[in-house]
Chains A and B, each alone.
Chain A
Amino acid sequence: MAAPGEKQAAKSLQDEEEAVTQVYATLGVALVVVVIGVPLWWKTTEVYRASLPYADIGELKGTQVIYKVGVEFVLPVQTQPQDLLDWREQVDQHLDTGTVYSPISPHYDIKVRTTNKEERTVINQQGSMEDLEASLTQLKPPGVGSCTLYLLWTTVYLEASLTQLKPPDVGSCTLYLLWTTVYLEASLTQLKPPDVGSCTLYLLPKDSSLEAQAYIGRHRTAFVKSSGDVSRDVRISAHLVRSYFVNDERLKIAFTSATGAQHDKENIAKEQMRAFKTNMGYEVTFSLLNPDPSVLDVQWDVEAGTASYLNPFLDRLADVAEFKVFSQVLYYVDLTVRPARDERTASYCLTPDQLPHTINPVEAKLGSHVSTYPSVHFLVYVPERGHSPLYIHNEDGMESETNAFFSPRWGGMKIVNVASPPKNASLPHTVTLDLLPVMETFLSHLRLLLGMAQLPPDPWIVVEPADNTAITDWEYDHLLRVRTVENLATATATLASLSQLLGEIGNIVINDDIAWQVYLAVDAIRKAQLLLATGELTAAFQASKEAILSSEKAFFDPSLLELLYFPEDQKFAIYIPLFLPMSVPVLMSLFQAFRWYKKRQQQEGKTNQEKEKEGIKEAQKEETEEDDDSEAEEKKSPKGKKQSRKER
């Protein structure tokens, strides 16, 4: 009897052992799936995102950009100390930007003083205004981004000597406030050798300048004619600083428009449309279009022309951007637009409506460009014999003086009429173009394309034209400042867009080197903001350039687009055939194991009941059952979690 019982017991023990092995195997497999499989799958399919300074980027976006401009007002030595204080106070008032918050704001570092001995010597001894500015500038170099106002005498002859005296640094400007003509005359006659000829020379500009209230030199100096009324003088001086040297309104526009997508784009001033956005370089191409080379053999020494007229300008801007200059001659390229014949003047004319259509057909023949810099096109068109002379008419039907037109962010075109070949001349007739007027036109266009200062008209302010560099020192400062501010705004906006896009679009990859670029950009922006606030314009510009380079690299790097988008249902469709065959046996075994466990608990409960039948133990049993339930739930929950993960 004992044998079958033993056998049965042995069998049940064997079954028990088998069941236990099965459970452990199941748990092992489930453990491998959960501990190794899921993390591995998670890790290999996740979109890699290096950590980015989101908080810093958000902060940068809200940071107010402040740029420092040093302004020095120099008053005549006769000025009373009380007047100096008065000046100071009123200047402060006029240059105060107010309490209205603006994302970009100037900080004027104002100094008011009287002329010192050296300046007086210079002012008294120099002959011309230009010389005066030069020598005054030599005397005491103003800090970068600052300017000096001299309240002295009248105009033209002073400036250059002041500059010599005190070579101004980049970004600074000097304003001389001129005293009344009477005072000037007196002091001039007193201090200059009594030479009649030279006296007249000084007095003439003084008389002519009576109409103008201020004179702005080529460097960083301005002269204001005093009217004797302090508040009026201050108002004019402040106007010169704000509208000419600094032009804070324009800076604000440049800044907000570069801030980008979030802003109302239609509010951008039209002048913003003319100029290219900040770029590291430009490709400038001069093209000579000769529609009929069998009649006219047009020659141009464009190499010499660019060397004498264009290069001084480009050299001046070497720090701002890189320029590549090309030239080409295109033959048999015709304007497809038919010019109308103007019988009155025996000429041909193009109306403003026709002009836009002259560019398109030519554009296809201008050739393709190698670099990714924006290309600037300057076309010289020599009309064929049958349509010569050809003039561009203004809207009012008058011939345009320059015979040229400008196209925003593209370039310009100039029509150059050459003398038709004489009756019996052998053809082709050789003509050489004079490049001076051509370069004058194209330099003006280039200035517009680069976003040079566009100033409001004012008949009371004389602005000294630039020399052959085609850009004055203070215009250069302004350009530098605009570019710095624009770069800063663009770089900040790029980073902000990037972080916003990372939130919106899940499958953008951020590698470590991209994150590095973002950190670099953030640092460079901070540095540029700091330098701008301390008035270090050149350094600020360089820092802003670094910022924009890094931020653009981070935004446009090809590695950001490593993953394509897959809709959720497609992902599910891909994962189902992979995971279903594997998960079904695992889940089934887990269920089996759970059932076995439950059964064993019940068995244990039974034996317990059999062994101890006391009421106190009953309560204990209930407790264990409760424990079982909670354990079962615990077991269920990771499974449920796993499944939900798989569905992802």
Chain B
Amino acid sequence: MAARSACVWAGLVFEQVGGFFKSGHTNNWAVLVCTSRFWFNYRHIANTLSVYRSVKRLGIPDSQIILMLADDMACNPRNPRPATVFNNANQHINVYGDNVEVDYRGYEVTVENFIRVLTGRLPPSTPRSKRLLTDDRSNVLVYMTGHGGEGFLKFQDAEEISNVELADAFQQMWQKNRYHELLFMIDTCQAVSMYHKFYSPNVIGIGSAQVGEDSLSHHVDPSIGVYIIDRYTYYLLEFLETVTPDSKKTLADLFRVCPKRVCVSTPGVRTDLFTRDPNSVLITDFFGSVRNVEITRQTVTLQRNDTAQTCR
């Protein structure tokens, strides 16, 4: 009997790693930032919520999404359709959905808070939901949108984050093993200038417009009187809607989103810091959260211990 259980034990201990570990990450995180306020910037909220909707639908739980929204369009008095934010004048997709967890809102959306979230240098009192608790096996998606220029992105009309600052923040994350791979996506004017200064490994940069180009909005919704969404994110959402958690679409497909003829601006991609081939990297490695699993074959053997149960 002893020998038998010993073998069972050995079975557990000696269990081989199967082919279940399909990718090098074990968890996914998303940091989605809309940096501009005010009603006329409705489209930036819609952009961010579009990505939020997609990553949530593809499986990243709210506890692993840091959503920073500088304003609340859904409950704005000027919104003729309260508690909704649409991606389209025809009201195809309500990107606000029915369950939005905003972590940083209004005036909390500052450069300082954003950098603190990335680098983990938050005051001890910060609740868990406002922290980016990533580790060396986390794939992180950073999506930003707002008004930008060459080498900077404006936050709240008051301050701006520069590409150097962003690159330094990523480097600090890398140094402290805070990500495994990082996908940086930005929809703003001259967007690609934001990833030019990156120098940390395993980072992909995607921008909606080249330096010198404006990133344009898609269309006006007459009922709200302002532009409803930006072109790049509009087509990005259209593309992500076709992705399912078990989809085999790759990053290369993502790079082809919004070509110049529909986008007007020219989206840019930077992959020189990334080691894997984008053709073989699944979209869901960043936009979803498909966990690695392995079937348990053997367990430890415990002796039945009923005394404790009857005592209680």
Q: Please list the residues of chain A having a beta carbon within 8 angstroms of any beta carbon in chain B.
A: 156, 205, 208, 260-261, 265-266, 270-271, 273, 276-277, 301, 303-305, 307-309, 352-353, 355-357, 359-361, 363-364, 368-372, 374, 392, 394-395, 400-402, 404-410, 412, 436-437, 439-441, 443-445, 447, 453-458, 461-468, 470, 494, 497, 500-501, 504-505, 555-558, 560-561, 564-565, 567
A451 CB, min distance to chain B CBs, angstroms: 13
Alpha-carbon gap, A308 to B175, bound state (A) = 42
- 9-residue interface stretch from B10-18, B74-82, B188-196: B10-18
Q: Please list the residues of chain B having a beta carbon within 8 angstroms of any beta carbon in chain A.
A: 2-3, 5-10, 12-15, 17-18, 20-21, 24, 26-27, 59, 61-63, 111-112, 115-116, 119-123, 128-129, 131, 133, 135-137, 151, 159, 162, 164-165, 168, 171-172, 174-177, 180, 202, 245-246, 275, 288-309, 311-312
Known: A307-B312, A368-B129, A441-B299. A266 touches B24 (CB 8 A): yes
Which chain A positions have C-beta within 8 A of B293? 352, 355-356, 359, 405-407
A463/B296 in contact, CB under 8 A: no
Which chain A positions have C-beta within 8 A of B6? 462-465
A208/B3 in contact, CB under 8 A: yes
Considering the complex, give the chain A residue whose CB is closest to the CB of B284: A356
Alpha-carbon gap, A308 to B310, bound state (A) = 10
Residue of A356, A408, A501, A567 near B164 (CB, 8 A) is A567
Which chain B positions have C-beta within 8 A of A359? 291, 293
A567 CB, min distance to chain B CBs, angstroms: 6
Which chain B positions have C-beta within 8 A of A558? 116, 121-123
Which chain A positions have C-beta within 8 A of B297? 400-402
Considering the complex, give the chain A residue whose CB is closest to the CB of B200: A261
B62 CB, min distance to chain A CBs, angstroms: 6
Consensus secondary structure, chain B interface: loop
Which chain A positions have C-beta within 8 A of B295? 352, 355, 392, 394, 400, 402, 404-406
B296/A439 in contact, CB under 8 A: no
Known: A260-B177, A357-B290. A270 touches B17 (CB 8 A): yes
Which chain B positions have C-beta within 8 A of A410? 26-27, 291
Which chain B positions have C-beta within 8 A of A505? 168, 171-172
Considering the complex, give the chain B residue whose CB is closest to the CB of A454: B13
Which chain A positions have C-beta within 8 A of B294? 405-408
Closest 4 interchain pairs by CB?
A457-B14, A308-B308, A360-B59, A465-B9
B26/A556 in contact, CB under 8 A: no
Considering the complex, give the chain B residue whose CB is closest to the CB of A500: B175
Which chain B positions have C-beta within 8 A of A276? 135
Consensus secondary structure, chain A interface: mixed
Alpha-carbon gap, A412 to B15, bound state (A) = 16
Residue of A462, A466, A501 near B300 (CB, 8 A) is A466
B5 CB, min distance to chain A CBs, angstroms: 5
Known: A156-B2, A409-B26, A441-B296. A436 touches B302 (CB 8 A): yes
Alpha-carbon gap, A271 to B21, bound state (A) = 10
Residue of A273, A370, A456, A504 near B168 (CB, 8 A) is A504
Alpha-carbon gap, A447 to B14, bound state (A) = 13
A309/B305 in contact, CB under 8 A: yes
Q: List 30 A-B contacts (CB under 8 A).
A: A265-B202, A307-B312, A356-B292, A357-B59, A361-B59, A364-B62, A371-B128, A372-B128, A401-B297, A401-B298, A402-B296, A406-B294, A408-B26, A409-B137, A439-B302, A444-B12, A453-B13, A455-B13, A462-B3, A462-B6, A463-B9, A501-B175, A504-B168, A505-B171, A556-B120, A556-B121, A556-B176, A558-B121, A560-B121, A564-B165
A490 CB, min distance to chain B CBs, angstroms: 8
A264 CB, min distance to chain B CBs, angstroms: 9
Which chain B positions have C-beta within 8 A of A395? 18
Known: A260-B175, A308-B309. A444 touches B290 (CB 8 A): no
A443/B300 in contact, CB under 8 A: yes
Which chain B positions have C-beta within 8 A of A309? 302, 305
